Chains A and B, each alone.
Chain A
């Protein structure tokens, strides 16, 4: 059993991965969700599977860690995350009225003071933009962190139903509800198994998935890991997920699957 190959689906990453022995498990859900796809800013399409980087941000919000300060905690060597959609993935178009944020349309508030912010002029005419929004998204998420202190802290925060910042699904107006299921042991599954029913999204795209008429199977690529530098943050690796949009299982051969409770998932 080679757990190192966990990251073979990741386009860049280290070759050695630590074997997680346990993880904590939670479900995030909300009435709406929007995870902007990197291909567009003019168009506002959403990923169907909550990106790994978004989960990192969400959990960092629970822990109260600031922007650009949590990427190492959720780095490829230091963490493992499995994502399972537990509701049918459905989207609607939601037109929203927005103000232009082009440089010319922004005015400074308190321009000479210590704290200065820029705001669009609220008297301007709005433009309507169409957001693709997930309807009642819900994901079961299994997380392991190598930082044992943070892991315990996260578990106790979740157990207590607490959070430092308000958790949301992509955009701040799409509030998230978190349900904690507890800490579980991870049991690896023998890679020799020819057919495994996987409950989570399967990293690596279609290659390991056995197509059958009964299950719909779709694919998408989203950011997985980030790093911070002086100027901001960049994505260091993307992951391609195959997933069942009806929130059912996928049949897979030769995946690095693991059992968490009564579910079978693949970690990234």
Chain B
């Protein structure tokens, strides 16, 4: 395949413009058509037969041992015979790059049947007997195929095809081919292409299939015939408007498409989907059909598997393709075939960052579940994916965990949310685009499921497609998934105590999704609307007036709590969002449980704490009051034990009392998942809330 530089040299603006469609890219077929064009230009170039060949089908055996088996035939005499020169009738060699054109392979993408070209691809590691049979079929099966015979009757090279067929009737010849193959391979199995070389002139050389027009024409005819006769159709073709170019043309009904979205059969609930009439419901011209089929390589390279589904992520530039945008796209696709580690999302970002074209760049995105060859489900799909969303999400997540006061602190007290080097969603990661684009980003935070058995309603796939395409995710879905995962972790015996790092990861994700620029959270419930708003945590590490006051003897813990609540739209008091007060109540209760639990753990060295006593799943609206009373009761007990004058965790208790009384929890309307997630967030906050030991130590060292 031409490198992007070679491609640029090979085709000037004018040549390229002539090949490109003149209508805007606006459907999956038009993207596939453009890909097919670029692929053909980048591999076999122009020419009458290039679009019909599949030069990549045997890509993996290029330059491997024994990868090309050639049956050599001399038809220059009246009596056709096998070659009797030094090289002999069967030549086993390497299938090298410079032979791709000569061998002119055209694969028939089906398990049974022979390839369209005289050149045929054998299965992986075929044994010599099988290969010998395939070698013989070059003479017995291909030349006598109906379509090939039609060409033989009309074409000037027809006699060569007939000569092959005649040889195929000779038992002796076939035995020689068989023994030739088995002898040459010495009993070893191999993965190979099988082809022929033919000497047509007494003084001439042995010629490859690519050098014999009759063979190429027969290949073309065989491939075209499949466009109208697959799946038992006799001739599904007719004159209609080509859906790719919009021009009137002979259209065909049973062409393949790289994603297999349209197959000729299935009457189903759409009347008129009769296989013979398939060209009516899916009118595609012969030329466009062939070109679309050629998109296969590029389309495949722009896909990856996740959650048991196959995600297609096909870049294109909006509007009518220009030579410049076509070259840019070719570059993207070319690199896709060379680089296995990156998802197309990352690759596009690598290639296009800081370039103006980014806005024009769009993606066709779909998640496909192939149940069987002919039964596909698409779980999410859009023509309108934009790089902006996954990229900005990756950046915003980094920003939240690395730069905001919600996760970072230098005030002498810990940040509201804990961070941990072992948790990828809690540390800055310059490669975050990878987990975002593969969906791992949601696998980490959502409820666990069996990845091999993706279901249409797997919220992780929905969330992934939403991020790739810029659609929003329902906050309700997130809360449900989050709480479910927290519960799993709490019951997991390998996870020690409360899963606070999980909760912190989820919270970071929630904040990143709520970013104004992305606006990826949605809700129909006015009570949850505040969760979808971007939080306004300080990004600056400058000391605020409050912090300065705190060092002067103010209550640092209280200030921190106050600030966190004020900066979190879902928790702050808001006359327009009445549920905020209830949510804050749940959060504050969590904070107190977390604080007391932490105290019990460190100061009292108790292994079972309030945190274990009140797991997230046990929290309901009806239990809120009771749990609150018990938690406050505990603080009073510990305060007495310590002989303190000020109640332990007074800053929490005071706020909790204020919030929990008005309205009375008996009248709360907040939904359970909402309640539980913010309770869990509170527990996480409370457990993490203490003077910053690291920083205190550093300070002490400096002083000494």
Interface residues, chain A, with chain B CB atoms under 8 Å away = 11-12, 36, 38-45, 93, 95, 98, 101-103, 106, 127, 129-130, 132, 171, 205-207, 211, 216, 218-221, 231-238, 240
| A-B CB contacts (within 8 Å), total count | 128
Is A41 a contact partner of B374 (Cβ separation < 8 A)?
Answer: no
The CA of A41 and the CA of B266, in the complex, are separated in Å by: 8
Is A236 a contact partner of B262 (Cβ separation < 8 A)?
Answer: no
Question: In this complex, which of A41, A218, A231 has the most chain B Cβ atoms within 10 angstroms of its Cβ?
Answer: A41
6 A-B pairs within 8 Å (CB atoms) are namely A12-B241, A41-B261, A41-B262, A42-B263, A130-B378, A205-B26
B672 contacts A by Cβ under 8 Å: no
Please judge, given known A-B contacts A211-B359, A218-B384, A232-B277, whether A36 and B270 are in contact too, CB under 8 Å. Answer: yes
B461-504 near A? 1/0 per residue, CB < 8 Å: 00000000010000000000000000000000000000000000
Is B280 a contact partner of A98 (Cβ separation < 8 A)?
Answer: no
Q: A41-B263, A42-B260 are in contact. List 12 more A-B contacts (CB 8 A).
A: A39-B29, A39-B261, A45-B381, A93-B379, A103-B232, A129-B375, A130-B369, A132-B378, A207-B319, A219-B24, A220-B27, A232-B272
The CA of A182 and the CA of B118, in the complex, are separated in Å by: 67
B282 contacts A by Cβ under 8 Å: yes
Is A238 a contact partner of B246 (Cβ separation < 8 A)?
Answer: yes
| B-side contacts of A233, CB under 8 Å | 272, 280
| A-side contacts of B374, CB under 8 Å | 42
Is A234 a contact partner of B238 (Cβ separation < 8 A)?
Answer: yes
Is A232 a contact partner of B280 (Cβ separation < 8 A)?
Answer: yes
B interface secondary structure, majority: loop
The CA of A244 and the CA of B430, in the complex, are separated in Å by: 33
Is A11 a contact partner of B23 (Cβ separation < 8 A)?
Answer: yes
Please judge, given known A-B contacts A42-B260, A235-B240, whether A220 and B359 are in contact too, CB under 8 Å. Answer: no
Is A234 a contact partner of B375 (Cβ separation < 8 A)?
Answer: no
The CA of A171 and the CA of B270, in the complex, are separated in Å by: 8
Closest residue of chain A to B373, judged by CB? A42
The CA of A101 and the CA of B282, in the complex, are separated in Å by: 18
Please judge, given known A-B contacts A12-B248, A233-B280, whether A42 and B30 are in contact too, CB under 8 Å. Answer: no
CB distance from B308 to the nearest CB of A (A): 14
| A-side contacts of B262, CB under 8 Å | 39-42
Q: Residue B24 contacts which of A206, A216, A232, A236 (CB distance < 8 angstroms)?
A: A206
The CA of A207 and the CA of B272, in the complex, are separated in Å by: 35
B354-395 near A? 1/0 per residue, CB < 8 Å: 000001000000001100001111111111100000000000
| B-side contacts of A93, CB under 8 Å | 379-380, 456-457
Is B267 a contact partner of A101 (Cβ separation < 8 A)?
Answer: yes
The CA of A130 and the CA of B378, in the complex, are separated in Å by: 7
Q: Residue B243 contacts which of A38, A40, A102, A218 (CB distance < 8 angstroms)?
A: A38
The CA of A6 and the CA of B298, in the complex, are separated in Å by: 37
Closest residue of chain A to B273, judged by CB? A41
Question: In this complex, which of B238, B260, B368, B378 has the most chain A Cβ atoms within 10 angstroms of its Cβ?
Answer: B378
B265 contacts A by Cβ under 8 Å: yes
Is B246 a contact partner of A11 (Cβ separation < 8 A)?
Answer: yes
The CA of A99 and the CA of B380, in the complex, are separated in Å by: 23
| A-side contacts of B470, CB under 8 Å | 216
